[in-house]
Structure 1
């Protein structure tokens, strides 16, 4: 559990209370079939009483490993994700973006998991301009051109191709 005890912070306006956690993807229930988080996931941040709520802000540091969806290369990526959310002891009718809690413990585990998972791209690609694999011979085109003829005629032009062949 990732609980931040705000008892000593009380309602001291503007005073920062630092926190730090180390967890794993399994403990956060942040496991995917498409990628893995390697090693520990570090969470650091502060809690500040703003006068109306407690603002929890900080960063998540992790290492993501995955297979590129275009060239099938094994990839490793260091990631840093920022987060900032408000917590209140009472549900405000006007604000839906505030997390409600009781007592002196803020449970930030769900927020951390949601931030981590929402920050992952929809496709796992080693770099934005990845060239992928040659559809003819299977060579990784990022490592150089293989020389294969990869021209695929547009099927909509097949009738015109037939006319050209008759001449």
Structure 2
């Protein structure tokens, strides 16, 4: 996959440089137990000249992931629509001092920029931390594991404030 931009070529181009690629991102979700599967990421970007030796890259990343509901562990198909907007500045001389640096600009020392690491970073940062199968998901019973969306169980899950737990049996009749 070629997601490489050349500062000089973009500055001399008649229009934006278009990128339409597919990126395998399965490597970046390894270790996430809440993600069952992830589809390849569709990358649609446009690179446009901005200021002197500066390029704006804008577009979107789209894909999907099969994730587990954070309450009941049901598999949920999650659509990913990730906006992408970055500005790259080619540095022909040494890097500017920290006070001269603009936080919204990525400074590049080479004449070319490989966008793949930046696309991967956007993907990882925009993955949801958790998903729900539905807004009012009831989750699992803490005692027996029954999916409470599918039915109730016979467990006593009355929540007692731990500060009053010692008083729990105070008013129950005790046989002598």
Taking structure 1 as the reference length, the TM-score comes to 0.79
**Residue number in structure 2 paired with 1:140:** 147
Once the two structures are TM-superposed, the CA of residue 128 in structure 1 deviates from its matched residue by 4.2
Once the two structures are TM-superposed, the CA of residue 33 in structure 1 deviates from its matched residue by 1.9
**Residue number in structure 1 paired with 2:29:** 31
Taking structure 1 as reference, are residues 55 and 94 closer, same or farther at Cα in structure 2, changes over 3 Å only? same
**Residue number in structure 1 paired with 2:74:** 73
Q: Please, which runs of 5 or more residues in structure 2 have no aligned partner? A: none
SS in 1 for 2:72: coil
Once the two structures are TM-superposed, the CA of residue 38 in structure 1 deviates from its matched residue by 2.6
1:102 aligns with 2:72: no
Taking structure 1 as reference, are residues 4 and 164 closer, same or farther at Cα in structure 2, changes over 3 Å only? same
Contact 2:36 2:68 in 1 (8 A): no
Q: Please, which runs of 5 or more residues in structure 1 have no aligned partner? A: none
Once the two structures are TM-superposed, the CA of residue 131 in structure 1 deviates from its matched residue by 1.4
1:54 aligns with 2:55: yes
- Counterparts of 1:51 and 1:36 in 2: how far apart (Å)? 43
> Deviations for 1:102-154, whole angstroms, at most 9, x for unmatched residues?
22x32111111111111123334434432111224422122344464321322
Number of matched pairs: 163
Taking structure 2 as the reference length, the TM-score comes to 0.76
**Residue number in structure 2 paired with 1:112:** 119
Query: Superposition RMSD on alpha carbons, in Å?
Result: 2.7
Once the two structures are TM-superposed, the CA of residue 68 in structure 1 deviates from its matched residue by 2.3
- Counterparts of 1:107 and 1:127 in 2: how far apart (Å)? 39
Tell me which of 151, 154, 157 is aligned to 2:164.
Answer: 157
- Counterparts of 1:155 and 1:9 in 2: how far apart (Å)? 65
